[in-house]
């Protein structure tokens, strides 16, 4: 794995929910602890939000609190270090938590949006910083409403049935430029992101469970995410020393 990383001229990392579980944010599809085992995904579709935004917030409240209070874990910090060393050129993430940026990573593409703000789902399309939206939510205003037109405010995350975030087009360009993609903590069950690795000749996968791309990957590591990224850093340090 380290050999591939050192030989690569352009490496892109693709991360999923598994990289943030050590930061206290649940993943979505684990059989026993995944978010979808507790919440019906219908409330997280664009149709579900339109029909009942209050239920979207009621069921999502715990997740939003986890995301807004989370700090980067060892794996986020290790990826930022790999970027600083010039071994990783960019990060494509399905996560909405902003933890890569908090860890110091640059050139991060958030293909499912983020929790930096919310946009009015009514006519005015006003954008509101998440701090103000969170204050409304924690005062019990479900859903939080736009102060201009009274429409419900929707976090700037991509719901099922919505178009991908603008970053997705940039992510496609990054992946097409890459000769190595490092997939970390991603189940690869969600389209269209799960098609991105097919554009890259070489693939390394670090995930606790099997993925649809395991047979094509040069290396598959089924372990804890932070354990694997720490191993990469330590091996690089050993070789440099």
CATH assignment of the domain containing 96: 3.40.50.1220
Q: How many domains does the chain have?
A: 2
Residue 8 and residue 43 in one domain? no
Q: What is the pLDDT of residue 230?
A: 97
pTM of the predicted structure, to 2 decimals? 0.93
Residues 151 and 54: their CA atoms lie apart, in Å, by 12
Predicted local distance difference test score (pLDDT) of residue 157: 95
32 lies in the same domain as 85 = no
Residues carrying an active site annotation: 112
Q: 139 and 79, same structural domain?
A: no
What pLDDT is attached to residue 192? Answer: 96
Q: How far apart are CA 126 and CA 202, in angstroms?
A: 43
For 15, 45, 92, 111, the CA distances from 11, given in Å and listed in that order, are 13, 33, 11, 18
pLDDT (0 to 100) of residue 37: 61
Range of the domain at 206: 1-24+73-112+165-241
Q: What is the pLDDT of residue 30?
A: 60
Q: Among 101, 133, 157, which residue terminates a domain?
A: 157
Closest CA to 155 of 174, 136, 176: 136
Digitized pLDDT (tens) for each residue of the chain, 241 residues in all: 999 999 999 999 999 999 999 999 987 666 565 665 677 788 889 999 999 999 999 888 878 888 889 999 999 999 999 999 999 999 999 999 999 999 999 999 999 999 999 999 988 999 999 999 989 988 989 999 999 999 999 999 999 999 999 999 999 999 999 999 999 999 999 999 999 999 999 999 999 999 999 999 999 999 999 999 999 999 999 999 8
The answer to whether 68 touches 25, Cβ cutoff 8 Å, is: no
Is 130 in the same domain as 50? yes
- What's the burial of 1, exposed, middle or buried (CB within 10 Å: 0-12/13-18/19+)? middle
Task: Give the integer Cα–Cα distance in Å for 113 and 97.
Answer: 9
CATH of the domain at 146: 3.30.1600.10
Kindly state whether residues 82 and 60 are assigned to the same domain: no
Could you tell me if 65 and 141 lie in one domain?
yes
Domain boundary among 128, 157, 186: 157
pLDDT of residue 108: 98
- Number of helices and strands in the chain (H, E): 8, 9
Q: Kindly give, in sequence order, each residue whose CB lies less than 8 Å from that of residue 160, ignoring residues fewer than 6 positions away.
A: 41, 44, 45, 46
């Amino acid at each position: 794995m380290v050999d591939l990383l050192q030989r690569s001229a352009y490496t892109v990392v693709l991360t999923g929910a598994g990289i943030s579980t050590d930061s206290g944010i649940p993943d979505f599809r684990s059989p026993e602890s995944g978010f979808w085992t507790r919440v019906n995904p219908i409330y997280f579709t664009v149709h579900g939000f339109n029909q009942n935004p209050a239920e979207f917030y009621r069921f999502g409240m715990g997740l939003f609190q986890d995301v807004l209070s989370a700090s980067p874990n060892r794996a986020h910090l290790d990826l930022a270090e790999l970027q600083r060393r010039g071994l990783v050129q960019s990060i494509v993430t399905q996560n909405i938590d902003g933890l890569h940026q908090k860890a110091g990573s640059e050139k991060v593409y958030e293909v499912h949006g983020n929790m930096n703000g919310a946009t009015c789902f009514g006519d005015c399309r006003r954008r509101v910083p998440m701090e103000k939206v969170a204050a409304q939510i924690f005062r019990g205003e479900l859903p939080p409403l736009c102060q201009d037109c009274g429409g419900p405010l929707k976090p700037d995350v991509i719901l099922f049935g919505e178009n991908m975030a603008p970053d997705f087009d940039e992510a496609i360009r990054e992946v097409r430029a890459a000769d190595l993609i490092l997939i970390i903590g991603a189940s690869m069950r969600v389209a269209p992101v799960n098609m991105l690795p097919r554009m890259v000749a070489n693939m390394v996968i670090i995930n606790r469970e099997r993925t649809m791309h395991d047979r094509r990957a040069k290396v598959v590591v089924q372990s804890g995410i932070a354990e694997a990224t720490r191993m990469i850093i330590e091996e690089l340090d050993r070789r440099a020393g």
